[in-house]
């Protein structure tokens, strides 16, 4: 059974810092990996999706890497801003009879202080 772990569980940093959020998964047989942002009481916003054949994806100040063999992904946030404060969720998409089930990590709650 796939297990996804995110470290740290919570992070508080001053504005302007570069951040690294970590995600690890136990089963390397994944279809792809996705990073989401969730604001309090809200749904999920997809940030980046990395296919299993890719090593990284970039969008603006965000960069996500994937090392499938070691079961790890990192989300790099450059020049953090207070508006980046949210919970960041990592999810891996595996293979099952229902087709590409998503397994979520516990999330990292990020607080960026002005």
Partner 1 sequence: GAVVSQHPSWVICKSGTSVKIECRSLDFQATTMFWYRQFPKQSLMLMATSNEGSKATYEQGVEKDKFLINHASLTLSTLTVTSAHPEDSSFYICSARDTFPRQRYNEQFFGPGTRLTVL
Q: Name the site residues for partner 1 (rule: CB under 8 A).
A: 31-32, 34, 36, 41-46, 49, 89, 91, 93, 97-107, 109
Please identify, using beta-carbon distances, which residue of 98 and 114 lies nearer to partner 1. Answer: 98
Task: Work out how close the CB of 102 gets to partner 1 at its nearest, in angstroms, rounded to a whole number.
Answer: 6
Please identify, using beta-carbon distances, which residue of 71 and 88 lies nearer to partner 1. Answer: 88
Structure tokens that stand for 79 in this block: 């020049």
| 109 class by beta-carbon count within 10 Å (0-12 exposed, 13-18 middle, 19+ buried) | middle
Helical ranges in 1-114 per DSSP H: none
Task: Work out how close the CB of 79 gets to partner 1 at its nearest, in angstroms, rounded to a whole number.
Answer: 27
Q: Rounded to an integer, what distance in angstroms lies between the CA atom of residue 4 and that of residue 6?
A: 7
Residues 6+ apart with CB under 8 A from 69: 28
Q: Are 88 and 107 in contact (CB under 8 A)?
A: yes
Task: Work out how close the CB of 27 gets to partner 1 at its nearest, in angstroms, rounded to a whole number.
Answer: 16
Please identify, using beta-carbon distances, which residue of 83 and 99 lies nearer to partner 1. Answer: 99
Please identify, using beta-carbon distances, which residue of 13 and 44 lies nearer to partner 1. Answer: 44
């Amino acid at each position: 059974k796939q297990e996804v772990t995110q470290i740290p569980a919570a992070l508080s940093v001053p504005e302007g810092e570069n951040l690294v959020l970590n995600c690890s998964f136990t089963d390397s047989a994944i279809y792809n990996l996705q990073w989401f942002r969730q604001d309090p009481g809200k749904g999920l916003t997809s940030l980046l999706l990395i296919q299993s054949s890719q090593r990284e994806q970039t969008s603006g100040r965000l960069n996500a890497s994937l090392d499938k063999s070691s079961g790890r992904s990192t989300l790099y946030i450059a020049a953090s801003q207070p508006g980046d404060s949210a919970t960041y969720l990592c999810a891996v998409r595996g293979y099952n009879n229902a087709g590409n089930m998503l397994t979520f990590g516990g999330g990292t709650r990020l607080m960026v202080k002005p």
